[in-house]
Amino acid sequence: MSERFDRIKKHLKENKKVYIVGGVGIIVGAVGALVLTRGDVKLTMDSWKAIEIKWRSPTTNIMQTVLERRGHPGNDVRCLETGTKYASANHAAQTLGLSASNLSRHLSGHLPHVKGYHFEILGEAIPA
């Protein structure tokens, strides 16, 4: 048993620096984690996935992800009965309680009207 303790003592003496550096690293990591979770840091992420860290920023501390819109922005449409313009056919359908698929079929010329409403396409919507 004493031979085993001697080997452990020898090992600790030979690797003393490694254990000290490892211990300090663990302490620094734990302190860093506490500082980061206290709310003094603001992380924001733009659409290019770049992370910006603001230390003790006066702005609200939130994590924000901004995603760019993909695909076609839609077409502006106008209801001929009411004269109301809508940013998209989907928005018009939701507002008037219509089926979006039936409105799309009407705009493409496959249906003469949608529940008595007639629409026209004004042009491509401007992306937000």
pTM: 0.45
Q: What would the CATH number be for the domain defined by 75-124?
A: 1.10.10.10
Mean pLDDT over 4-28 rounds to 87
Q: Which residue has the higher pLDDT, 47 or 29?
A: 29
Mean pLDDT over 29-37 rounds to 72
Mean pLDDT over 70-94 rounds to 88
Mean pLDDT over 120-126 rounds to 84
Classify each residue of 14-33 as buried b or exposed e, where b means 16 or more C-beta atoms within 10 Å of its C-beta. eeeeeeeeeeeeeeeeeeee
Do 55 and 40 contact (CB within 8 A), yes or no?
yes
The Cα 74–Cα 90 span in angstroms is 9
The Cα 100–Cα 90 span in angstroms is 6
